[in-house]
Amino acid sequence: MSRKTLTNLILIVVLAGVVWGISQAQRASRAASLIKDLAQPDDYAAYRSLRKLSGLGPSAAARALRLLTDPQPYVRARAAILVGETRNPRYAAQVLPLLQDEATEVRMAAASALGSLGSPQATTPLLALVQDEQQPLEVRTAATRSLALLAAPEAVPALQKLLKLPPEEQNAPLREAAVIALGACRTAEAIKELRDRLRPDQESSVAVRTLAAEGLARAATPGSAEAGEVGRALLEALRDEASEVRIAAAHSLGQIFLPQDLSPTVTEALREALGDPHYWVREAAEEALR
């Protein structure tokens, strides 16, 4: 390599470094300005800043860490949301104290962010929040959704308890979040609870039965006896009066690895489902048979 070539290469590298440095400085300056905007009370204006900050990447979002202790609750909540978007478990420790915040919106945002950060150390505090009946339903729902993302097996009893809540409209999001979380846990107790939730005599909510059928698709070990039990429960759900449940059951039957002895029965049931009055049940059965 000649000296001239070397000089040129160095020049290019230096120039690239300068450009990168300037852009980083600009991003930092822009992030600092946007972080300030998070402090305004208007939720819509703050959301616009939040979106722009998210677009600047995790390093910009990390700048929100110092706002986690802001005196304004809505600022702390927005900061928690932004920190959650970094998906960096290292920040969990700074978010965890916010689960005890006096403002509902802060606890809710913190619970939500901890799921995104994916730190296992958040499981216990989140479980506590889920089980705390004094907490508003939105906070418990956010915590349950985060538990689903953490897929913590120890959460199963608490989730089972949530499903025992009366199936009223205000409890719907929490119960739905609980059944989704059970699907993520994949323990024997979780699978049994999901099978129970498939039965209309046990569960009146169509949405919960649908999510249970959906969650069972990947819950059991392929080809195991447990998978057989799941298959039989889904076969039963294929006759549910709610078309949404039948769609989910047919689709899950197509996903699950069933024991050999159950395959003919499932195939026959799916063929029968090809004559279902609902279009998407027929489509799901056809795909499952494929």
Partner 1 sequence: MDDTTRRQITWIVVVTFGLALIVYAGNQRSLVPRALDRLSRGTLAEQVEATRILVARGKVGEALKDQPRWVQTAAVKALLELGTPEAIQQLTEAVPVFDEPVGNWATAATVSFGRMAIGPLVECMQSRDGGVRAAAQGPLTKIGLTPEGGPAVIAALSPFMGAYDDFVRAGVVAVLAPLGKPAAPVAIRTLLQKTPGPDQTSAAFARAQDTAVEMLVAMKEPALEPIITQLVPHQREKLRATAALMLGRMAGPLGDKAGEIVPPLLRLIGDASWSVRRRAAWALGELREKGRQADILAALTLRLQDEPEVKAAAVKSLGQIASPTSAGPLVQTLLTNREGAIQELVVALTSLGPPALPALQTALQSPDAEAREAATEAVAGIGTPAAVPLLAGRLSDSSVSVRRIAAQALALQANASAVDALSRALGDSDPVVYGAVRRAFVRLGEEAVPPLIARLGSGDPRVALVASEALNAIGPRAVPALPAALRSDNGFTRDWAAVTLGNLGRPALAAVSAVLADGSAPVSSRAAAARALGRSRLPEAVAPLAQAAGAASPELRQEVLRALAATRQPEATTSLVAGLSDPALPVRLTALRLVKDWQVGDADKQLTALLRSGDEQTKRMAAVALAFHASPGITPLLGPLFGTPAAAAEGRAEIAPLLNAAVEDPAELPEVRRLALIGLAYGGNQQSVDVLVKFLTPDSPLAGLAARALGLLGGRMAEQEGPGSPLAAAARDRLLEVLEKTDSEALRLQTATGLSLVGGSAAPALLERLNTAPETIQPWLAAAIGAMGKPANDEAMRERGRERQSKEWASVAIMLIGNPESIKFLARLPQGEQPSAEKLAQARALYDQIMKVRAAPLA
Identify which of residues 253 and 269 has a Cβ nearer to partner 1 in the complex: 253
Q: How many other C-beta atoms lie within 10 A of the C-beta of residue 278?
A: 15
Identify which of residues 105 and 193 has a Cβ nearer to partner 1 in the complex: 105
Q: How far is the CB of 218 from partner 1 (least distance, A)?
A: 5
Query: How far apart (Å, rounded) are the C-alpha atoms in residues 40 and 49?
Result: 10
Q: How far is the CB of 44 from partner 1 (least distance, A)?
A: 4
Query: How far apart (Å, rounded) are the C-alpha atoms in residues 60 and 177?
Result: 30
Identify which of residues 156 and 247 has a Cβ nearer to partner 1 in the complex: 247
Q: How far is the CB of 239 from partner 1 (least distance, A)?
A: 18
Structure tokens at 25: 């400085």
* Nearest-10 Cα torsion for 276, 279, 285, 289: 120
Q: Where are the alpha helices (DSSP H) in the chain?
A: 3-37, 43-55, 58-62, 73-84, 92-95, 104-117, 123-131, 137-150, 156-163, 172-185, 188-197, 206-216, 225-237, 243-255, 263-273, 279-289
- Footprint on this chain of partner 1 (rule: CB under 8 A): 1-2, 5, 41-44, 46-48, 50-51, 54, 74, 77, 81, 84-85, 104-105, 108-109, 112, 115-116, 137-138, 141-142, 145, 148-149, 151, 172-174, 176-177, 180, 183-184, 207, 210-211, 214-215, 218, 244, 247-248, 251, 255, 280, 283-284, 287
Q: How far is the CB of 205 from partner 1 (least distance, A)?
A: 11
Identify which of residues 145 and 261 has a Cβ nearer to partner 1 in the complex: 145
Q: How far is the CB of 69 from partner 1 (least distance, A)?
A: 19
Q: Decide: 108 and 78 in contact? Cβ < 8 Å.
A: no
DSSP code of 221? P
Q: Which residues contact 271 (CB under 8 A, 6 or more apart)?
A: 285, 289
Q: How far is the CB of 107 from partner 1 (least distance, A)?
A: 11
Q: How far is the CB of 24 from partner 1 (least distance, A)?
A: 21
Q: Decide: 288 and 253 in contact? Cβ < 8 Å.
A: yes
In 3D space, the residue among 255, 244, 238, 239 whose CA is nearest the CA of residue 290 turns out to be: 255
Identify which of residues 77 and 262 has a Cβ nearer to partner 1 in the complex: 77
* Residue 267 CA to its chain's centroid (Å): 32
Identify which of residues 176 and 203 has a Cβ nearer to partner 1 in the complex: 176
Identify which of residues 43 and 268 has a Cβ nearer to partner 1 in the complex: 43
